[in-house]
Amino acid sequence: MWLKNFRNKKLQTLLIGLIMLLCALLLSTSLNILVSLNEPLEQLAEECESAFAVVYPYAEENEGEVTAIAERLAALEEVERAVCVRMHYISEKLTSGDKEIETFTNLTEYDADVFAHIRCVEGNRKNFENLKEGECIVPACISVENDLKVGDDFTVHMPDGNVTYTIKGIYADIYSTSNAFTNYVLVKQLPEQMLPEMEIRLYTKEEVTEEQILDSYEAAYDRELEGQMNTKSNALESSLLAVQILGGILLAVGAIMLLTCCLIVNFVLRSIMTSDAKTIAVYKTIGYDNHTIRSLYTKFYFVVTTVGVWSGIAFSKPLSNQILDDLFANIGEQANVHVVKVGLGIYGMILFLVLGTVYLVTSRMKKMKPVYALGNMSPTDTAKRQNYKGDYKGAFSPFGIALRMIMRDKKGTFGILVVAIVSVIGINFGLVSLDVALNMKDNNDYWLGVDKSDIMITVSAGATAEDIEKKLEEDSNVLKTAACCMSGNLIVEREKNGKDAVVYPFVYEDYSKVDMTIVKGRNPKNGEEIALAGKIAETLHKEVGDYIQLNFGQSSKSFLITGLYQTYYNIGESCRLTKEAYEDVPFAYDTVSVYLKDNQDISGEVERIEEIVGGSGKVIPRTEQFASIMEMISEPQESAIPAVILMVVLIGSVNIFCIIMLKNQKEVKVNSIYKCIGYTSAHLMAANVCFVSILAAVSIAVAVPVLLSLYPNIMKLTLGAMFGLLEYRVEYNMVHILLGNIAIFGLFIISTFLSSGGIRKINVRDLVIE
């Protein structure tokens, strides 16, 4: 019975269902992205029997010292065992066939005590345990990113000759899930020419925390742990960073669109109630009470919401799988998100909002008097109306009619305007996010905190930065060079109740000679000054003007904080020092920044400089420096945001379609009258177009400046906790924004045209009272 009341509302129902579907699709996809990886990562850690933590000793090259730390750790009550692992951090060029591999990786000696249970993704597990000389096992993250297979070669370009391995297997482990963080390529033994470093894998007896281990160590040996600890849960969090950023953006857009959906449901319901006034009046005259009539609407929208939302949730599965595919592949699994749990929450929330709206709108039924509705009458209207002050010629032009619609129905117009503004904000949010993601590599000087040179040369082992600078000194295309060090780490000395922290410094001789963005304060000028990354400053509760004590291994020194800057490098645990700070400590530059004279072809110059420096360094454009970090953040966004924009555009267009269609249905009589007194369908459609154009223009005029001013703050709020963002710097591409908004405007107009087609079918006979 209740369903029969809605059989003449197929299109409205379809549109409402479609809006629900898209909204649920967005929300479900974003939540799937945020939650789906946790469990598989935890399972991976369990399956691999991964160490509780990896300890990176400060004296990583001193085998005796590292072994002693491991023994001390092993003797702690909470610790089951501590295993030393020998490895070499590859700063040299890496290739497989013709492909250059960009990653942070350690060539690591296979130790069954540590790696016996790693997940075998490809290859034979027996080969893992019986690795031979010239064979290696690579983590899935490197294999996925570079399309490496078992049997491919893997070459490290050492200054004194290449070292080539054959890939015998692909594996996954919780400490090797991303190219943006250090991962491990396993070999039988390190080549002699590689300087070995060591780290310690720490296995605990039971559930303990990082603080407990550190406190126990300090209590047992009356000293702090001589190294930095990276726990399994930290590694897990780092693996989730990229999806958290993406999920956060999608969730923000999803929430905006949910608001739109509520507004549109409200609008549709109100229109339906108006057009159903007679039906409701008839029901009332034959004895139905408000509660019974309301239940007709509630049941109907319950069904529409259920079908729409669950369809959206079902469609979110393949979309989420597509987005998460690479990330799952990094842990050797196929993406297969489970949408039901997340879906139930979304369904509950949308159902609550929709039925709440139904309740509120249908509450107005109480005021409906059957006598008016059935007699085509309305109670005497004493409301004051805005006098339309348009001139005679314009008053009945399409624009004049549109303007009058707006001025004389401000409440209705305001509702439509809010829907349009929210849609425009959603679309622009996506557009700006995509622009930021696409330009992240170009702007890596800001996002990574490196200097804005044109080319960077990573110094190979055995070579020196000074040699490279000398080779480029006289080059006619080179404006200047600057040596720096990016590979060390320092410990921040713990203050009372303070948290242990490690910082990864960028060290330059003179910051005034390089182009390095600083968000607050200034870069250090001498050996007593330091600039801190936002994240570490936030962790340590430090500000410009405060002091910080750094441990250099053999010595400790206090620094005045002169500035704060932004970086994703090492998740924001970074600082800037001058070379002077290292005066009593062994120090070597490992990178050379090259500034070219104007208008140079960067890729051509990279090839030319490669020839000049030979095997002394790996030459890359600055925009490719730490590419794996930028790609980890930007690539999922680049792949997912266009789909999101499409969805938001679709929702916005459907909203406008729906609004105009309902408006036309509501005004079918008025349009008949206009036609009867000599107005054409085209004229009335043009009035609708003008109406939407005015609203679209106002929406864009309001939404774009609001979004542009709020976007950096929204992103800072969303991502600030992860990276300690001081400022989310966005260089808006006004051309893209302009084109995007012209497209939005166009889509709104197209939607209006499509939904106004019914005006042509209006027959003036409808005005006859039979």
Partner 1 sequence: MEKREKNSIIRTEVLCKSFLVDGEVNNIIKNVDLDIYEGDFTVIMGSSGSGKSTLLYSLSGMDQVTTGKVILDGADITRMSERKMAGFRKEKIGFVFQGINLIPNLNVYENILSPTYKTGRNKKEIEKEIEDMLARFDMLNQKKKFPTQLSGGQRQRVAICRALINHPKILFADEPTGALNSSQGQHVLDVFSEIHKDGQSVVMVTHDLKAACRGTRILFLRDGRIDGELQLGEYHKEEEKEREERLYHFLQERGW
By CB under 8 A, residue 132 contacts partner 1: no
By CB under 8 A, residue 765 contacts partner 1: yes
By CB under 8 A, residue 673 contacts partner 1: yes
Are 648 and 253 contacting, i.e. CB atoms less than 8 angstroms apart?
yes
Distance, in Å, from the CA atom of 636 to the CA atom of 432, rounded to the nearest integer, reads: 15
Residue of 388, 556, 604, 738 that binds partner 1 (CB under 8 A): 388
Are 505 and 577 contacting, i.e. CB atoms less than 8 angstroms apart?
yes
Are 424 and 255 contacting, i.e. CB atoms less than 8 angstroms apart?
no
Quick one: 552 or 679, whose CB is closer to partner 1? 679
Least gap, CB of 689 to partner 1 (angstroms): 17
Quick one: 214 or 673, whose CB is closer to partner 1? 673
Structure tokens at 723: 């990276």
Quick one: 265 or 685, whose CB is closer to partner 1? 685
Distance, in Å, from the CA atom of 89 to the CA atom of 60, rounded to the nearest integer, reads: 11
Are 377 and 362 contacting, i.e. CB atoms less than 8 angstroms apart?
no
Residue of 675, 716, 724, 726 that binds partner 1 (CB under 8 A): 675
By CB under 8 A, residue 392 contacts partner 1: yes
By CB under 8 A, residue 399 contacts partner 1: no
Residue of 2, 89, 288, 396 that binds partner 1 (CB under 8 A): 396
Quick one: 195 or 764, whose CB is closer to partner 1? 764
Are 552 and 579 contacting, i.e. CB atoms less than 8 angstroms apart?
no
By CB under 8 A, residue 404 contacts partner 1: yes
By CB under 8 A, residue 678 contacts partner 1: yes
Are 548 and 530 contacting, i.e. CB atoms less than 8 angstroms apart?
yes
Residues constituting the chain:
770
By CB under 8 A, residue 677 contacts partner 1: yes
Quick one: 144 or 685, whose CB is closer to partner 1? 685
Least gap, CB of 396 to partner 1 (angstroms): 4
Least gap, CB of 363 to partner 1 (angstroms): 24
Quick one: 404 or 736, whose CB is closer to partner 1? 404
Distance, in Å, from the CA atom of 456 to the CA atom of 487, rounded to the nearest integer, reads: 14
Indicate the SS3 state at residue 168.
strand
By CB under 8 A, residue 680 contacts partner 1: yes
**Hey, which residues does 550 pair with through a beta bridge?**
492, 557
Among candidates 758, 656, 693, 658, which has minimal Cα distance to 402?
693
Structure tokens at 198: 């060591």
By CB under 8 A, residue 371 contacts partner 1: no
Distance, in Å, from the CA atom of 520 to the CA atom of 564, rounded to the nearest integer, reads: 5
Least gap, CB of 405 to partner 1 (angstroms): 7
**Hey, which residues does 200 pair with through a beta bridge?**
55, 84
By CB under 8 A, residue 768 contacts partner 1: yes
Quick one: 223 or 393, whose CB is closer to partner 1? 393
Residue of 325, 681, 702, 720 that binds partner 1 (CB under 8 A): 681
By CB under 8 A, residue 767 contacts partner 1: yes
Quick one: 307 or 395, whose CB is closer to partner 1? 395
The residue written with tokens 């399972």 in the block is 43
By CB under 8 A, residue 480 contacts partner 1: no
By CB under 8 A, residue 168 contacts partner 1: no
Scanning 44-52, 111-119, 298-306, 372-380 for contacts with partner 1 by CB under 8 A, the matching segment is 372-380
Q: What is the DSSP string of 554-605?
A: S-EEEEEEEEEE---GGGG-EEEEEGGGGTTS-----EEEEEEPTT--HHHH
Least gap, CB of 663 to partner 1 (angstroms): 12
> Taking the CB of residue 47, how many other CB atoms lie within 10 A of it?
16
Least gap, CB of 26 to partner 1 (angstroms): 37
Residue of 273, 374, 395, 698 that binds partner 1 (CB under 8 A): 395
Are 78 and 206 contacting, i.e. CB atoms less than 8 angstroms apart?
yes
By CB under 8 A, residue 385 contacts partner 1: yes
- Stretch 493-522 residues interacting with partner 1 (CB under 8 A): none
Query: Angle at CA 336, nearest 5°, toward 101 and 104?
Result: 20
By CB under 8 A, residue 380 contacts partner 1: yes
**Burial class for 348, CB neighbours closer than 10 Å (0-12, 13-18, 19+):** exposed
By CB under 8 A, residue 745 contacts partner 1: no
By CB under 8 A, residue 372 contacts partner 1: no
By CB under 8 A, residue 271 contacts partner 1: no
By CB under 8 A, residue 405 contacts partner 1: yes
Among candidates 455, 468, 466, which has minimal Cα distance to 615?
468
Residue of 282, 355, 438, 670 that binds partner 1 (CB under 8 A): 670
Quick one: 125 or 404, whose CB is closer to partner 1? 404
By CB under 8 A, residue 85 contacts partner 1: no
Are 656 and 692 contacting, i.e. CB atoms less than 8 angstroms apart?
yes
Quick one: 291 or 760, whose CB is closer to partner 1? 760
Indicate the SS3 state at residue 336.
coil
Structure tokens at 108: 């690591």
Among candidates 343, 120, 72, which has minimal Cα distance to 221?
72
> Taking the CB of residue 142, how many other CB atoms lie within 10 A of it?
26
Summarize as ranges the residues that interact with partner 1 (CB under 8 A): 376, 378, 380-382, 385, 387-388, 392-393, 395-397, 404-405, 408-409, 669-670, 672-683, 760, 763-765, 767-770
